[in-house]
Structure 1
Amino acid sequence: MNFRKATTEDLPAIVRLLADDELGSKRERYEESLPTDYYRAFAAIEAQVGNQIMVAVEDEKVIGCLQLTIIPGLARLGMKRAQIEGVRVDQRYRGKGVGEVLFKEAIKFAEKEKCGLVQLTTDKQREDAHRFYERLGFSATHEGMKLIL
């Protein structure tokens, strides 16, 4: 298994992972011909400095992904943060350490970028994910809120 920055060729596999659970199946549209919105979004991620999709690959197949964004800030003496979102591991590979190693790669990247913390949001319904993040050392220190537009 290796880890790398995603390419456009990985996009169908990434969207498949995003759509492959109870919540994702309601939010995403994985189709043989992906909606062009995904390609536009990926191009915008690629164009933004400090924003990337990381993938876990085994036998040339994408088996996990996450989005990692480096956020410069003024608070905390100008500390940079790393934001992790869109974490998914192929169902056939769950429980085999893929997510943990993918997170360690993302955290290592954040340290290299001199971030002072790594943060993430997780849907309240994802109880297994909450336990996973806590096992990795994350703690629920803040209450997150969203405004859907």
Structure 2
Amino acid sequence: MKYTLRVATPDDAPTISRLSAMFGYRDDADAHRRRLHILLAKADHAVLVAVSDDAVTGWLHVMLRHSLESESFAEIAGLVVDEQLRSTGIGAALVAAAENWARQRGHHEVRVRSNLSRERAHAFYRRQGYAATKHQQVFAKRIS
């Protein structure tokens, strides 16, 4: 399959939103467009898309994470490939692009979090050379 990678634009929001819905996230193009505007303006974030036949077929969000207790690293915050095109190399190419983006910024580690139920994603990341290092729970509290 032929595809190219490029930086996302706000015009990609409807397709990014549709792809995100494949993982159960809300299909809200306006919200994705608003978030894209914010993320694309930040030097420590990148949103990349894979394009095939003029259609976005996958996206990846990578960001730099800084903390007091450890060295900074890059983190893949999201990765979605059209369910009809999985296992065609698009995801691997997006991950490799994220790794290159991190390397160009002087970072030597990329991390990714994946829901425990997404076993196919875990196998994909292992094939890309990633190893599980921690199991944890995520706690959230609405503070409106």
- Asked if the contact 1:4/1:54 (under 8 Å) is kept, the reply is yes
Q: Which runs of 5+ in 2 are unaligned?
A: none
Percent identity of paired positions between Structure 1 and Structure 2: 30
RMSD of aligned alpha carbons: 1.6
**What is the 5 A alignment of 1:1-149?**
1-21=3-23, 24=24, 27-30=25-28, 34=29, 36-76=30-70, 79-149=71-141
**Aligned partners of 1:56, 1:38: CA distance in 2, in Å?**
17
- Asked if the contact 2:20/2:27 (under 8 Å) is kept, the reply is no
**How many residues are treated as equivalent by the alignment?**
139
Counterpart of 1:132, as a letter, is: F
**Aligned partners of 2:92, 2:80: CA distance in 1, in Å?**
11
1:133 shift after superposition: 0.4
Deviations 1:12-54 (A, max 9, x none): 1111111014xx2xx3124xxx3x3322222221222211211
- TM-score under structure 1 length normalisation: 0.85
Counterpart of 1:147, as a letter, is: F
Moved beyond 4 Å, runs of 4+: 73-76
Counterpart of 1:118, as a letter, is: V
Q: Which runs of 5+ in 1 are unaligned?
A: none
Higher normalized helix content (fraction of residues): 1
**Aligned partners of 2:93, 2:75: CA distance in 1, in Å?**
17
